[in-house]
Amino acid sequence: MITFAYPQLLWLSVLPFLAYYMIPVAKKMHGDALQVPFVRDISKINEENKFSFRSALYGKVKSYWKLFMLCVIWALWVAALCRPQWVGEPHKVRMESRDIMLVVDISPSMQEQDFLYQGRYYSRLAAVKNVVSAFADARVDDQIGLIVFGSRAYQQVPLTYDRQSLKEVLYAIEGGMAGNSTSIGDAVGLALKNLSADETPVQNKVVVLLTDGINNDGRLNFPQAIKMAEQENIKIYTIGMASDQLVWGGLFGTISADLDEESLRQLAAATKGNYFRATDLQSLYAVYNEINRLEVQDKEGQFVQEQKDLFYYPIALALLLFVLLFAAGRR
């Protein structure tokens, strides 16, 4: 789309016409014409000459053509003064985006099928995949990474805006892939390390930790992880995932694994985050929706439009027409 930066200058296009009609005609500088004795003879000679319609028509056309060219040149100069610009389509930009590191427990206990939804039981990991996928889709302006942990912690997806790749990796993971124990401290340390390396301001960095167990492996224990999180000043939301349901399997019933809720609360409180408990798929959705609400996204100034000046085009055309008009006059 083409617009003018200074459209108020368009009135200059009528300036020559105003000058023509408002300024009075100049008076004759040499007074009346001199009377010569042979003026009658000159008039007779003119009457005897044949009238040339073609010459008269050519003279008028030439005069009107020059006047038209001058008007076009003036209009082009006025257009250049108005500063024409090409304005592109508005594009969305990320202004105050956040770096969110999702830390997900994939120990064997996450395969427990005790999460109830619409009369059916699903595994904890299957519930996490669906809820985290929806959470990632809602955070369109944020960079999101994924760390999974069991006996060891592994970064599966670095911070990225590519939601599709993140979800493909998320749906590919299986319970027990990272070992049979749970190293929550190492997972927190790895998340903090990756976020600290990014140049995003610290107030825009968030860790969302989800687990269904206790820290029983790894190099970092919970007190060490809490101290590290306090030093980095990065907010951590913790989610304890364990069902209150009793699911029968085989000869004996199976219930949810032990959950160290107290340590998860301490970790969240030390970093000014929150602790949540998810007992079924619906409450897990509610937890991530609440985190989405708490980490509100800045929507101000998120659209920009590319602008390109075009004033040199009318200037160049005006100069070209002026040179052609001058050359035609000399000839």
Pairing type for strands 303-309 and 235-241 reads unpaired
Helix axes 261-270, 222-232, angle to 10 degrees: 20
The token pair that represents 176 in the structure block: 């027990």
Q: Is residue 37 part of a domain?
A: no
In this predicted structure, the answer to whether residue 331 has a pLDDT above a threshold of 70 is: no
The number of distinct structural domains making up the chain is 2
What pTM value is reported for the model?
0.61
> pLDDT tier at 39 (50, 70, 90 boundaries)?
low
Cα(181)–Cα(267) distance, rounded to whole angstroms?
20
Q: Within a 13 Å sphere around the CA of 204, how many CA atoms are in the beta-carbon half? A: 16
* Residue 249, in any domain of the structure: yes
The CA-atom distances, in angstroms, between 104 and each of 171, 230, 243 are 12, 21, 17
254 pLDDT above the threshold of 50: no
Same domain for 106 and 84, yes or no, is: no
Determine the pLDDT at residue 248: 47
User: Above pLDDT 70, what percent of the chain?
Assistant: 78
- pLDDT (0 to 100) of residue 264: 94
Please name the helix (run of DSSP H) or strand (run of DSSP E) that holds residue 128, with its range, or none.
Answer: helix 124-138
Over pLDDT 90: what percentage of the chain?
A: 36
Determine the pLDDT at residue 94: 54
Residue 163 lies in a domain: yes
In a domain, 38, yes or no: no
Buried b / exposed e along 17-37 (16+ C-beta atoms within 10 A): eeeeeeeeeeeeeeeeeeeee
Alpha carbons 120 and 127: distance in angstroms, whole number: 12
- Measured between alpha carbons, how far is 192 from 244 in angstroms, rounded to an integer? 31
Q: State whether 136 and 243 are in the same domain.
A: yes
User: To which H or E segment does residue 154 belong?
Assistant: strand 153-160
CB count in 10 Å sphere of residue 256: 21
pLDDT interval class at 253 (50, 70, 90): very low
Helix (H) or strand (E) holding 289: helix 281-294
- Indicate whether 299 belongs to any domain: no
Whether 223 and 133 map to the same domain: the answer is: yes
Examine the pLDDT at 278 and tell me if it is beyond 50.
Answer: yes
pLDDT at residue 101 is higher than 50: yes
Rounded to a whole number of angstroms, the CA Rg of the chain reads 40
| 228 found inside a domain | yes
First-to-last C-alpha distance (Å) of the chain = 41
Q: For position 132, which CATH number holds?
A: 3.40.50.410
3-state secondary structure of 91: strand
Q: Which of 167-181, 250-264, 316-330 bottoms out in mean pLDDT, i.e. has the lowest? A: 250-264
The predicted model gives 49-76 an average pLDDT of 67
Q: Is 94 inside any structural domain?
A: no
More confident residue, 68 or 108: 108
* Shared-domain flag, residues 206 and 231: yes
CB-based contact 273:238 (threshold 8 Å):
yes
d(CA 4, CA 74): 17
| Same domain flag for 280 and 135 | yes
CB 207 within 8 A of CB 214: no
Please check whether residues 55 and 204 belong to one and the same domain. no
Beta bridge partners of 238: 209, 275
Does position 48 have pLDDT exceeding 70, yes or no? no
Virtual torsion, Cα 286, 290, 293, 296, nearest 10 deg: -130
Tokens matching residue 59: 């003279």
Q: Could you tell me the two tokens for 310?
A: 């075009």
- Which residue range forms the structural domain that includes residue 137? 99-294
Of the candidate ranges 70-84, 262-276, 286-300, the one whose mean pLDDT is the lowest:
286-300
**Which of 136-145, 244-253, 275-284, 305-314 is predicted least confidently?**
244-253
| Any domain includes 27 | no
Is the pLDDT higher at 290 or at 39? Answer: 290
pLDDT tens for 224-248 read 999 998 999 899 999 998 876 554 4
Mean pLDDT of the chain: 80
